[in-house]
Structure 1
């Protein structure tokens, strides 16, 4: 680069920043401002507008943390401004340029209808007529994130947040908008971005010369008057067309709005209204701009609370300008929810879009979730989706993912067309750097011509700005740039599908090499979600049984309400534990209340079945969910000089004086599951100070410090159990009870956890030469190597499971099952037989942001060490842990209405069809990875049966029998119509 080039660039940048942009609104007068401060939570806008307002002086501090302040702004438009575009400029005191992470506001007319939002990148409001009279609902949300840097703060909940004013208004003015100056600013902006991506050569030289020549014509004393001449000089370089081979960008307006994160759910509802109102205003002012928004839940918030805005949403959807994306209730985590939960994300999301808009999403849109389950491709296709979109894998710490357009194959072999945008962002601004990066980095350039750019400010909302729209207009056909056009993602993927046979394929999970701590952080989120998933399975099955057997009403509405709340809490910053304290406090309270409601539904259905309608009943609910399990007598502890023995006909377990398991022998084979010289059930504590994202990340170096917890406060025995009390530190302690149930060594643990930046693990050194660990995932298992031959395996030092992880060699296996954990690690360990493995569960963390009190307090865990296990045995033990028996009062036996015969087959769901037709839905799957055959057995007369999609729509015309044939890990859904009553 020549020195003259540097001078030209510096000149243009300074002129743009200091001369041109300020002149867009150079002519201003102050607005008259009044204020009304709400003492508590937000109230309906019309109520606030009807309230009492007091005089306010701009520059006065306002807004305690999480407060709401209403401003009324008024003025007469000066007569000399007649015929010009006039805008209100409302700067609430924005602390930094990123929208959604500080104060923000929504502007209303006096009748309470929404106009648009104001934020740091979009704080203007168009004024029509001779006067302005507007109301601003301003939210003083505290700044918790700046850039990507957090700071530990107690501002994340009402009870600990500050009462002092957080913001100071900077400007509330009425101004003339100068369209030619604004257009010039965008001309210069685009050309500066373009030259930064061009190689040295004629095109770059001519762009820089045009900037120099144009700025020679800019009169600093009359920016408005000289702007047209400058634009005319820049016109030739802006009109030079793109080359035929230029990369194409399918831009879609976007405003990724986290359903909760650094703000509570109640604030997200307002963020959605702010963003949508602004995007509708932008749609109304443009011809081709389209805005895509996911999450049926967010649309439903508008529908329920904002009828005027909702009517505009419906009109924009019908016009094809507002695009419902994703077909899910929320943008959920996809690693930790059960398979049935993912099905319900699709079912509830698509039902909403079809009911309200008459459309269905054709693809799943998950730009920001923290890794993607290998079960997902099959579920997407069986729910009718054609494509999958994400961006998050570009955040990998170690390995660059090798594809941007590919076919992703799941554990059953199903493939789904998938795209990662090479821009590496879901918040594109269509800058020159972003467009250049997309064209250079797109790994499928040899095959495919285009990529997607989700365009707009996100996370906290905000969306697309008129400046981004202006950049698109200038780069639609510009020499040296990618060609950008607004497009529906469906159109992009339809074009990509024509190349599917030539695209690369990726098999297995999309593991995110980052945010590994989300599998453990905020244990109560994982426990609450898992418990509700189990309770809902029971509630639906017993409700269906009571409906068929006793004619009881099926509680559709009550079950839907519980499911919708559970699905919301599976959002990818709630279930993973990465939100502020307020969010997790509310979720914990909600989980408890939802569990009570689910238990009440179960009791009601069981009462109907046994004829005691108001009886507080319990019953065995697992018959339709897992294979039957044997019941054995509890082993009685026997003491000797080394400790205690627990023994039954299957297993002999030794517990030493430290309360550690030094031996667990399978009496049938004589194999000891525990590595010689090592001890299982060993708690280990690590320092845990990740480099950047505390609640999200566990960085590899945490392993460099470790404390083995072997001190004992007390050991005692009781009927069938050994109880061990230990100190974890000076401020934390744990109590474990150890028992033996069949092949399962059961561990029940109560932990008082009061650590800061520490990580609690539970170690099981196992004498098993396992080449792979086998972890439960949705409707199957995922196998991962136990070696670290490549950087890909080495990066997976913390991985996910559902209810069990199994290690197995030919003829012998050991599983660890759990009721609420999701993270584990596994390493190879030397042994007498070459090597074994150290399998460790992740139990608790203690990050300091965004919630400085994360996980502090009391926790319960349950685990099981299954001796002599295979996949079916591990599944059976895991199900027994999560679905405890509910013994009924009295002698009456309640049998499930559906059973399944066949090896390797399991039922996950029995429920009434969502369309309220009275049909019964039965979902089953093969769980071992083998082909399987079996048969459904019904305890009710069936009139018709057929297989259906996950959305409960027909796949075949009907079945003459109930024979089941499944491929490896195949999920199958049956719809059974009961025979008419005689």
Structure 2
């Protein structure tokens, strides 16, 4: 009887399962009824993904990869009328214009016919997490301007199929550059082909993930591919990117043969040649409720946030230098002292920096010779940018009234708020000097610390450091430098020993045996910020299963640098700066940290030198923070976002922050050249260096120098203005001796004032193009709240709101020095200013 009951129970269970699966199948059939493959359409776009540099050099791309790809594609177009081909990257087109003019003319003919189609609207296909926001704005500016000027083409389709992640301000950038659509592959939402991608500010673009990747081979048909794709969408028409790629290629003979073979096959999807924009316009008009995906589309290849650190450092340095050059070149021209703006130097420098932001270059995933080539290009860019900056600063200095006692020393502030910060300056005297004193604009002597003094070729050369107080917003302040009979003993709240560094804001305590930080005490708030030893350099086994430049494979902690002993000593103990030097060894690599406090500055700086020789190891600096349920915030291009503190390696720009959940206090970690971070619970870590072995077996081996800083603050990152501290750390005050002469400008002046604090100015530049006379000011809102902005200029201007391509859209101010306007939450706004 028991056996019969068990048998009956099994029969009932089987029937239930059958009914259940049948109902699911019926539901699926209703949602996606079986269809004839002929009801599906493969909208074909020929494509050749061209890595500007990867396992080959840029020179090879220009002389072989691109010309062979484009000539081959033109031949295929002649074989198969109607064939369309999409190609991104203005840098490639310009290279062909310069090196292969005959080819370029043939491309222009096909562009006019509508078969060779410029897409992307950017100068290259860049990394989209590591460049500064202004770099991405310039990518779109230079890319779209080039396509407009050379082809008359208004690119509407963004195109980054191989980039390693996509930041959450990109939809807004695309929209404000006139791009409504976006094609990409990596970090796509699971089982999604077409969707609305909504950015931080609410901007939306219609995004599309081409089935089968960006180099589909049509040889065996695409029926199975489209049927699989159709299971997760209501679309029946799919744009496919076909053709060989990476090292170029484009549509193959086998692709054209497959089009003929399957084109009339009643059991195969239809083939149709399309233009990408026309495809998007078609699917946008369909009555399909595409899903909305909000926020960043990340993460992949976390090793790329750190591999090849010198390239990343050069990128950051050049970004900062070019933004300074743009601002001061604009101010010099606006001053009326010269009718000149260094367009060529600035444009050519930007193009180099933008080209080097190509994803495989900046991300560190190319072969070693690429980085030798790239550093040469960076040197050329730096020469041009520095020439533009120095000439502009000299022009402004020549307008300033500098007559008076001693030698004038002018301190320039490139940021649009008043700053009090340390200034390091080199001075030259034509008479013997034993000591130096510095006077401020009121004639009061201020503390100065002499770092170096030497006689050379009949001149006395000195290097000094002092605190410049209240340097005006995007302006300057003049100090006077005089020889002194002897070194003055200034009063200072700085103290230093092998165990303690202290100023009026911070008391930092170190373990003299290890060099680790035992306490970071905020004297103003009466608060300890370390929960355990901090600034500990952790060497971690890093053994990914493959692709070591791209991937991270963190295993066991190998060693905490200093646990086997360290050297700790005071090397500076002056009225302006005190420095402790910590030396630590790890295997065959040496690490030297200069830990610095300045009088009057609530920040601890770390200058780190290392000679790195290890493979398959990653070094991170760790800071366990004494905060309750902290919230992690990361700077991204044109903004800041919160992320979960899961311990995953993530990208950020100049700063990250941990603030307690109540928003009472926080600790910001600033940096000058690093992009990889992780936060786990209350511990934040910055990635210093790693030892990848492929494709460059010697990646990062050698000497490196970097800087980072810890900034404790009351309130959260917004009240603490962490975003300003990050910019200040990356764009320090600039100082230079000037000649003595009369001038029309006073000893101290601001050229631009702007409020409130959450409106962040990123650039002031002349509008692109020779013969154009307007100036572009760009800013963004960082707190996520609607804001009324007040801006004061040194002279009356007319102001238009413009798109990212610097085309005026609407007039918002006329003939006034003071302007008010609104910023929406997280909005990026571009203004076009014209003097009267």
Equivalent position to 1:250, from 19, 43, 48 = 43
Kept after mapping to 2: 8 A contact 1:606/1:618: no
Tell me: CA distance 1:480–1:767, structure 2 relative to 1, closer, same or farther (3 Å).
farther
Equivalent position to 2:690, from 827, 845, 848 = 845
Higher relative contact order (CA 8 A, sep 6+): 2
What residue in structure 2 maps to residue 140 of structure 1?
none
Instruction: Give the superposition deviation at 1:848.
Output: 1.3
- 2:763 is the counterpart of 1:763: no
Equivalent position to 2:585, from 705, 728, 733 = 728
Instruction: Give the superposition deviation at 1:563.
Output: 0.6
Equivalent position to 1:923, from 778, 781, 790 = 778
Kept after mapping to 1: 8 A contact 2:605/2:710: yes
User: What SS does structure 1 have at the residue aligned with 2:396?
Assistant: helix
Separation of aligned partners in 2, 1:903 and 1:542? 22
What residue in structure 1 maps to residue 523 of structure 2?
667
Kept after mapping to 1: 8 A contact 2:538/2:622: yes
Tell me: CA distance 1:703–1:815, structure 2 relative to 1, closer, same or farther (3 Å).
farther
Tell me: CA distance 1:778–1:607, structure 2 relative to 1, closer, same or farther (3 Å).
same
Tell me: CA distance 1:851–1:732, structure 2 relative to 1, closer, same or farther (3 Å).
same
**What TM-score, normalized by structure 2, do the two folds share?**
0.81
User: What SS does structure 2 have at the residue aligned with 1:529?
Assistant: helix
Equivalent position to 2:789, from 917, 929, 934 = 934
**What TM-score, normalized by structure 1, do the two folds share?**
0.69
Worse overlay, 842-851 or 763-772: 763-772
Number of equivalent positions: 705
Once the two structures are superposed, what CA deviation does each residue of 1:842-900 show, in whole Å capped at 9, x if it has no partner?
Answer: 11111112111111111111101110162452112211211111123258646453331
What residue in structure 2 maps to residue 802 of structure 1?
653
Separation of aligned partners in 1, 2:316 and 2:87? 28
Tell me: CA distance 1:766–1:703, structure 2 relative to 1, closer, same or farther (3 Å).
farther
Separation of aligned partners in 2, 1:724 and 1:630? 22
Matches of residues 766-781 of structure 1 in structure 2 within 5 Å? Answer: 766-781=625-640
What residue in structure 2 maps to residue 815 of structure 1?
668
Instruction: Give the superposition deviation at 1:500.
Output: 7.8
Separation of aligned partners in 1, 2:756 and 2:550? 41
- 2:192 is the counterpart of 1:403: yes
Separation of aligned partners in 2, 1:331 and 1:443? 30
Separation of aligned partners in 2, 1:388 and 1:308? 31
Matches of residues 442-461 of structure 1 in structure 2 within 5 Å? Answer: 442=230, 444-446=232-234, 448-461=235-248
What residue in structure 2 maps to residue 260 of structure 1?
53
Separation of aligned partners in 1, 2:527 and 2:271? 65
- 2:555 is the counterpart of 1:703: yes
Kept after mapping to 2: 8 A contact 1:407/1:500: no
Kept after mapping to 2: 8 A contact 1:637/1:722: no
Separation of aligned partners in 1, 2:383 and 2:781? 32
Kept after mapping to 2: 8 A contact 1:295/1:327: yes
Tell me: CA distance 1:649–1:433, structure 2 relative to 1, closer, same or farther (3 Å).
farther
Instruction: Give the superposition deviation at 1:731.
Output: 1.2
Kept after mapping to 1: 8 A contact 2:324/2:414: no
What residue in structure 2 maps to residue 606 of structure 1?
393
Separation of aligned partners in 1, 2:569 and 2:277? 64
Kept after mapping to 2: 8 A contact 1:715/1:722: no
Once the two structures are superposed, what CA deviation does each residue of 1:111-150 show, in whole Å capped at 9, x if it has no partner?
Answer: xxxxxxxxxxxxxxxxxxxxxxxxxxxxxxxxxxxxxxxx
Worse overlay, 953-962 or 406-415: 953-962
Separation of aligned partners in 2, 1:685 and 1:483? 56
Instruction: Give the superposition deviation at 1:432.
Output: 4.2
- 2:132 is the counterpart of 1:338: yes
Separation of aligned partners in 2, 1:626 and 1:703? 45
Equivalent position to 1:543, from 320, 324, 329 = 329
Separation of aligned partners in 1, 2:551 and 2:678? 14
Separation of aligned partners in 2, 1:587 and 1:279? 29
Equivalent position to 2:606, from 747, 752, 760 = 747
Matches of residues 96-135 of structure 1 in structure 2 within 5 Å? Answer: none
Kept after mapping to 2: 8 A contact 1:627/1:876: no
* Structure 2: segments with no counterpart, 5+ residues: 1-34, 423-465, 468-491, 741-745
Instruction: Give the superposition deviation at 1:548.
Output: 1.2
Instruction: Give the superposition deviation at 1:695.
Output: 0.8
Kept after mapping to 2: 8 A contact 1:545/1:896: no
Kept after mapping to 2: 8 A contact 1:626/1:879: no
Separation of aligned partners in 1, 2:635 and 2:158? 23
Instruction: Give the superposition deviation at 1:671.
Output: 2.0
Tell me: CA distance 1:900–1:281, structure 2 relative to 1, closer, same or farther (3 Å).
same
Separation of aligned partners in 2, 1:547 and 1:389? 40
Tell me: CA distance 1:896–1:536, structure 2 relative to 1, closer, same or farther (3 Å).
farther
What residue in structure 2 maps to residue 909 of structure 1?
763
Instruction: Give the superposition deviation at 1:471.
Output: 1.4
Kept after mapping to 1: 8 A contact 2:800/2:832: yes
What residue in structure 1 maps to residue 344 of structure 2?
557
Kept after mapping to 2: 8 A contact 1:603/1:617: no
Separation of aligned partners in 2, 1:636 and 1:723? 12
Tell me: CA distance 1:275–1:671, structure 2 relative to 1, closer, same or farther (3 Å).
same
Kept after mapping to 1: 8 A contact 2:89/2:143: yes
User: What SS does structure 2 have at the residue aligned with 1:955?
Assistant: strand
Tell me: CA distance 1:539–1:759, structure 2 relative to 1, closer, same or farther (3 Å).
same
Tell me: CA distance 1:439–1:432, structure 2 relative to 1, closer, same or farther (3 Å).
farther
Kept after mapping to 1: 8 A contact 2:172/2:201: yes
Separation of aligned partners in 2, 1:683 and 1:895? 43
Tell me: CA distance 1:621–1:769, structure 2 relative to 1, closer, same or farther (3 Å).
farther
Once the two structures are superposed, what CA deviation does each residue of 1:757-800 show, in whole Å capped at 9, x if it has no partner?
Answer: 2111110111123453110011111210124xxxxxxxx71101
Instruction: Give the superposition deviation at 1:483.
Output: 2.3
What residue in structure 2 maps to residue 532 of structure 1?
318
Instruction: Give the superposition deviation at 1:910.
Output: 0.3
Matches of residues 425-436 of structure 1 in structure 2 within 5 Å? Answer: 425-432=213-220, 434-436=222-224
Once the two structures are superposed, what CA deviation does each residue of 1:10-47 show, in whole Å capped at 9, x if it has no partner?
Answer: xxxxxxxxxxxxxxxxxxxxxxxxxxxxxxxxxxxxxx
Kept after mapping to 1: 8 A contact 2:89/2:125: yes
Once the two structures are superposed, what CA deviation does each residue of 1:916-939 show, in whole Å capped at 9, x if it has no partner?
Answer: 421111001112222222211101
What residue in structure 2 maps to residue 645 of structure 1?
500
Instruction: Give the superposition deviation at 1:745.
Output: 1.0
Matches of residues 455-470 of structure 1 in structure 2 within 5 Å? Answer: 455-470=242-257
* Structure 1: segments with no counterpart, 5+ residues: 1-241, 395-399, 788-795, 829-836
Separation of aligned partners in 2, 1:282 and 1:801? 44
What residue in structure 1 maps to residue 181 of structure 2?
387
Instruction: Give the superposition deviation at 1:617.
Output: 11
Instruction: Give the superposition deviation at 1:351.
Output: 0.9
Separation of aligned partners in 2, 1:895 and 1:403? 55
Tell me: CA distance 1:666–1:264, structure 2 relative to 1, closer, same or farther (3 Å).
same
Separation of aligned partners in 1, 2:102 and 2:325? 38
What residue in structure 2 maps to residue 588 of structure 1?
375
Instruction: Give the superposition deviation at 1:644.
Output: 2.3
- 2:677 is the counterpart of 1:824: yes
Q: Which protein has the bigger strand share? A: 2
Worse overlay, 451-460 or 726-735: 726-735
Separation of aligned partners in 1, 2:333 and 2:548? 48
Instruction: Give the superposition deviation at 1:558.
Output: 1.2
Kept after mapping to 1: 8 A contact 2:38/2:267: no
Equivalent position to 1:496, from 275, 283, 290 = 283
User: What SS does structure 1 have at the residue aligned with 2:98?
Assistant: helix
Please provide the CA RMSD for this pair.
2.3
Instruction: Give the superposition deviation at 1:259.
Output: 0.5
Separation of aligned partners in 1, 2:242 and 2:655? 40
Separation of aligned partners in 2, 1:807 and 1:500? 45
User: What SS does structure 1 have at the residue aligned with 2:721?
Assistant: helix
What residue in structure 2 maps to residue 21 of structure 1?
none
Separation of aligned partners in 1, 2:605 and 2:285? 54
Kept after mapping to 2: 8 A contact 1:926/1:969: yes
- 2:711 is the counterpart of 1:859: no
Kept after mapping to 1: 8 A contact 2:218/2:254: no
Instruction: Give the superposition deviation at 1:940.
Output: 2.3
